[in-house]
Amino acid sequence: MQVEPCCWMTYTTHRDTRETLQTLDRLDLDTDRPTEEDIMKKFGLDEEFRSGELNCWQRVKPKIWALFDEPYSSTAAKVSSLYLLIYSFICYINPAHSRSKQYIKLTQKVLK
C-alpha cells in the first residue's frame, strides 16, 4: 500500500487506534457484579463468612465500602454519590457567596 507523505501521520494514527481497539476488544472486561463471598475475600473475612461468624460491623463494612467505591452498585450508592456531589458544590460556592455579601455591604457604606 502506498501512502503519500502528507497523509502518513493520519494513516499511522488510524492504524494505531485500530490496533488499540482490537486489543481492548480481546480483553475480558469484568462487568459482572462480585459475589458476596468475593467481597468478603477483599476484606479478609472469607473464613468467617463461610462459617457464619460475622459480627455486625463485618457485615456492614463491605456495604459501606460499596457505597463509595462503586457508585453504580445500587440505588443507595447513586443517591449518596449525588448527595456528596451537591454538598461539595454548596461548600465550594458558600464562601464566595459570603464574600459577595460583605462586598455589597462595604460598597453601600462607601456610596452613602
Q: Domain-by-domain residue ranges, the chain?
A: 33-111
Cell numbers that stand for 65 in this block? 465500602
Confidence (pLDDT) at 86: 93
Confidence (pLDDT) at 96: 72
Confidence (pLDDT) at 38: 81
CA atoms within 13 A on the CB side of 24: 6
Helix 56-69 to helix 75-111 angle (10° resolution) is 60
Helix (DSSP H) and strand (DSSP E) numbers for the chain:
5, 0
Q: What backbone phi and psi angles, to 5 degrees, belong to 17? A: -65, -40
Confidence (pLDDT) at 63: 82
* Residue 40: Cβ-neighbour burial (10 angstroms; 0-12, 13-18, 19+): buried
What's the pTM value of the predicted model, to 2 decimals? 0.45
Mean pLDDT of each 10-residue bin along the chain, 112 residues long: 79 87 71 75 86 88 81 81 90 75 72 69
Check if the beta carbon of residue 50 is closer than 8 Å to that of residue 58. no
Confidence (pLDDT) at 46: 84
Confidence (pLDDT) at 1: 67
